[in-house]
Amino acid sequence: MKIAFSKAAAPSGVALIVPAFEDGDPTDAHAALNAATSGALAKAIKAAKFSGKKGQALELVGLHGAESTRIVMVGAGKRADLTAIEAENVGGAGIAPILRTQEKAAAFLLGGFSTDKVRAGETAARIAFGARLRSYRFDKYRTKLEKDQKPALEKLSIVTPAADAKTKFADLDKIADGVFLTRDLVSEPPNVLYPASFATRCRALEALGVKVTVLGAKEMQKLGMGMLLGVGQGSARESKLVAMEWMGGKKGEAPVAFVGKGVCFDTGGISLKPGPGMEDMKWDMGGAGAVAGAMAALAGRKAKANVVGVIGLVENMPDGAAQRPSDIVKSMSGQTVEILNTDAEGRLVLGDAIWWTQEKYKPKTVIDLATLTGAIVIALAHEYAGIFSQDDKLVAQIEDAAKSSGDPVWRMPLAKAHYDNIKSDVADMKNIGPREGGSSSAAAFIGRFVKDGQSWAHIDIAGMAWNAKDKPTCPKGGAGYGVRLLDQFIRANYE
């Protein structure tokens, strides 16, 4: 779908999308369209009891006097409540009905749709961004789609008097590219996306100026990554570690590091998961997918910051060579770990990846993302990712980025008691603690591989990587969570 901005009237014969506030007078665009239809639009709105409530959509077809055969009115809620994120939701909610039709062109009419808090250019750019995010499809393996099931929309016009809308949208468009990359990675089946093929996808970022380094099993063995390699030793596919460097800031300045869990498929290993729902474990690499997407977004918009993305890529399979409960492995840090449950594998991958990242890059701060625990879903449902850190300043920065980006987080506890929960009788630590506070114990395990004085936060995205139903700016499926959060974190604090 191509998005264009225009100050002129909407092209004739295209589907029209008109946002409306719940309170106050109709926008200029709304009033003009009503006049063009000799009041028929207002009558149809009244008959349908459309009030402009947030998320409400009214689709009108064949309205008398309208040049367009299809008009979508989309509710924006109260004018005072409009934010940049809500404008994105308006864009997604407005385009959704059009995407279900065979319309090839559509236009948002935005004359007068803005507030003192969110000016016209920003509003238009955010609406375009939301519409683009909502337009995502993952149909590459569907060979029997009927014609009316295939996406038809080719062009979306954003009709706005704001001269700066196109410029403001340029960066957002690159962020959308990163979100789409993450959604693609999360959606791929595990026979297509595995450590080596994931690494190849990351290599494609070199076209954006990202330096990509891939370590194989032999290199990691020499480095002593016994935890990461232990997770993958039951798989026929070789484990990989991928580092992506974007050095857009001051030369020689220490980078910010993002580290992602990339378990391309998780059976649970010898501690085998139940069969029902195991198919969802294709997206247990959601943290790594978010890091790759964030690097694509940062490089795409030429961020003026030094950032590295490191992802540990493995498959957790129950082969005869797989590690077993009660095995003891040695990490790159030299610490030993008693494996009590092979399904607590992501923290093992992250521990070695984070230690290597600190040794290699000496980063200013480290943020890791992982679909780590089911416990975080019990605590926060599918509404928030859990953030764990003892660095209050870093937590505040991430929380601010979450509010601005639309990727929500909620701070969870991480205290000495959680570190005590993973003490082992036979090794330096064990890879699971008690069931109670499982997400915090998992975070504490990762924290054992963070060096003294290193700024660090862990974000558990287990409830956020996949959407079970459509959302305003994301269809059902891979959510692309984390890309916008990390991009905004860099934008606000390092550019």
Q: Kindly list the catalytic residues.
A: 273, 347
CA 382 to chain centre: 13
The three-class DSSP label of residue 132 is helix
Contact between 425 and 363 (Cβ < 8 Å): no
Say how far apart CA 190 and CA 67 lie, in whole Å.
48
User: Which residue type is seen at 429?
Assistant: M
Q: Please give the DSSP secondary-structure letter assigned to residue 469.
A: S
Contact between 213 and 205 (Cβ < 8 Å): no
Tokens 């979306």 correspond to 156
Q: How many CA atoms within 13 Å lie on the side-chain side of 23? A: 6
H-state helical runs in 362-477: 375-380, 392-405, 416-420, 438-447
Contact between 491 and 405 (Cβ < 8 Å): no
Say how far apart CA 14 and CA 104 lie, in whole Å.
8
Say how far apart CA 12 and CA 67 lie, in whole Å.
6
Tokens 């949208």 correspond to 169
Say how far apart CA 268 and CA 322 lie, in whole Å.
11
416: exposed, middle or buried (Cβ count in 10 Å: 0-12, 13-18, 19+): exposed
Say how far apart CA 375 and CA 393 lie, in whole Å.
26
The CA distances from residue 198 to 64, 194, 268, 352, 435, in Å, are 53, 6, 20, 19, 32
Contact between 34 and 73 (Cβ < 8 Å): no
Contact between 260 and 224 (Cβ < 8 Å): no
Pick the closest to residue 386 from 404, 369, 401 (CA basis).
369
